[in-house]
Amino acid sequence: MDYMKAFEAIVAQQLTRVKKMKTDTEFINYQALDKIVIGVIGGDGIGPAITAQAHRVLEQLLADEMKAGKVEFKVINGCTIENRAAAGKAIPEDVLTEIRKCNVLLKGPTTTPRKGDKWANVESANVAMRKELDLFANVRPVKVPELGIDWTFFRENTECLYALGSQGVNINDDLAFDFRVITNPGTERIARLAFEYARANNKKRVTIVTKANVVKTTDGKFLDVCKQVAKEYPEIETDDWYIDIMTAKLIDEKRRSQFEVLILPNLYGDILTDEAAEFQGGVGTAGSANLGKHYSMFEAIHGSAPRMVEEGRDIYADPSSVIRAGAMLLSHIGYQEKADQLFTALDECSVTEKKLTITGRSDGATGAQFADYILSKI
């Protein structure tokens, strides 16, 4: 293998991406569309079971809009590990074609094979979708009022280690390389989105998270660009922390309530948001938004839990994560009042009243029963 040619190809690919980012400046206006098409992707494992419940909740909330022809739901099949492995692609071409016909997606978890698995070593469907649709911002809110926690994480989605995760090189049996990419326009757009969110929501502090003292080139660029953007928002306090101590400060009762909006490269954002989700009941309760300028995707942040399916327990899987993602979707496409209704119902059912409990087993409620409970509050 010619390693220099392989690296040159990666560099050329990324330079082309940078050029495209610099010319693509306008966000889609969902409310200006004649019809908003919402794609529903079940995914793998417990994904179809929990996504079906979120789909049902959204259809009830948007019943009038569906009758008026303003909203359409489109179920997209085929984004399963079986189909992806058979096609040898993270997203089969026919599935990607259907996805592109939608404006926004509601997605269940998908399985990513690892070395030694029975499946072909295809790229993560999530990573591929973020790259194909340029979903550059992964936004994950975590709110636990009784602990003084109200965090919103802006994780860059299309760069860092994950973006080139399938393009690493084994030089020989003893040596392997992976590649990490950080760009000015990629960092600037996630930083600006975070600061605009902070300004619009009266947040007083934005925190940049890197390891720029050690990873000097890429993390150094991320930190520098974020600080440049921060100068345009003088009313907002900006600070920066290293990822290792940041994981500790999130559990520091004296400090954690001081954080509000956080900006992170891809890998650090993935790790830190899983830790943060534990405060509100674990990753099974947390939803996330993947935002781009032309498409957006809303999903659970947990995995596909294949063991639950193998043991026949998928009907007891907690749909809260995808339902919460559905509430974020409603807000994003302009139905804020309906989103607020759903967020309030989720909080009441999951935190305050809790008449039903999801355990993941037959001693708890099924996902359908929990979705009915939520609907009864709307």
Output the domain CATH number for residue 11. 3.40.718.10
Question: Judging by beta carbons within 10 Å of its beta carbon (0-12, 13-18, 19+), is residue 20 exposed, middle or buried?
Answer: exposed
Bridging pattern class, strands 237-242 and 36-41: unpaired
- Whether 163 is in a domain gets the answer yes
pLDDT greater at residue 53 or residue 287: 53
Whole-angstrom distance, CA of residue 102 vs CA of residue 132: 14
pLDDT over 90 percentage in the chain: 67
Domain boundary among 232, 249, 282: 282
Specify the amino acid at residue 9. Answer: A
Average pLDDT over residues 42-71: 96
pLDDT in tens, 193-228: 999 999 989 999 999 999 999 999 999 999 999 999
Is residue 187 assigned to a domain?
A: yes
Based on C-alpha coordinates, what's the Rg of the chain?
21
Query: How many Å apart are CA 233 and CA 238, to the nearest integer?
Result: 9
**Mean pLDDT value across residues 26-46:** 93
Residues 111 and 141 in one domain: no
**DSSP 8-state secondary structure symbol assigned to residue 86:** H
Cα 36 from Cα 104, distance rounded (Å): 8
Residue 85 resides in a domain: yes
Cα separation, 337 vs 341, in Å, equals 6
Q: Is the pLDDT of residue 377 over 70?
A: yes
Q: Does 120 have pLDDT greater than 80? A: no
Number of H helices, E strands in the chain: 15, 12
- Distance CA(45)–CA(51), nearest Å, equals 11
Contact 332, 296 (CB under 8 A): yes
Q: Is the pLDDT of residue 284 over 70?
A: no
Q: What pLDDT score does 3 carry?
A: 79
- Min mean pLDDT across 54-58, 137-141, 234-238, 240-244 is at 137-141
Note the pLDDT of residue 137: 94
Weakest mean pLDDT among 143-152, 156-165, 218-227 = 156-165
127 domain-assigned:
yes
145 shares its domain with 265? yes
Do 45 and 141 belong together in one domain?
Answer: no
Residues 96 and 225 both lie in one domain: no
Inform me whether the pLDDT recorded for 287 exceeds 90: no
User: Quick check: is 278 in a domain?
Assistant: yes
In this prediction, residue 199 carries a pLDDT of: 95
Based on the domain organization, do 346 and 333 belong to the same domain?
Answer: yes
pLDDT of residue 136: 93
CA distance 281 to 169: 39
- Do 69 and 121 share a domain, yes or no? yes
153 with 19, same domain? yes
Given this model, what pLDDT does residue 55 score? 98
Average pLDDT of the chain to the nearest whole number: 91
> Does 110 lie in the same domain as 215?
no
- Range with top average pLDDT, 56-70, 276-290, 295-309: 56-70
- Residue that wins the pLDDT comparison between 308 and 115: 308
Q: 277 and 146: one domain?
A: yes
β-strand pairing of 149-156 with 137-144: antiparallel
Q: Both 197 and 240 in a single domain?
A: yes
Whether residue 211 contacts residue 271, with contact meaning beta carbons closer than 8 Å, is answered with no
pLDDT at 119: 72
Q: Is residue 54 domain-shared with residue 159, that is, in the same domain?
A: no
What is the extent of the structural domain holding 64? 33-135+292-378
Is the CB of residue 190 less than 8 Å from the CB of residue 263?
yes
The type of residue at 357 is T
| DSSP state letters, 219-259 | HHHHHHHHHHHHTT-TTSEEEEEEHHHHHHHTT-TTTGGG-
Q: Is the pLDDT of residue 181 over 80?
A: yes
Q: Are residues 120 and 80 in the same domain?
A: yes
Chosen domain end from 282, 309, 335: 282
If pLDDT is split at 50, 70 and 90, which confidence band does 150 have?
Answer: very high
Name the domain count of the chain: 2
* Whole-number pLDDT of residue 310: 93
> Is residue 287 a part of any domain in this protein?
no
Residue 294 has pLDDT above 70, yes or no: yes
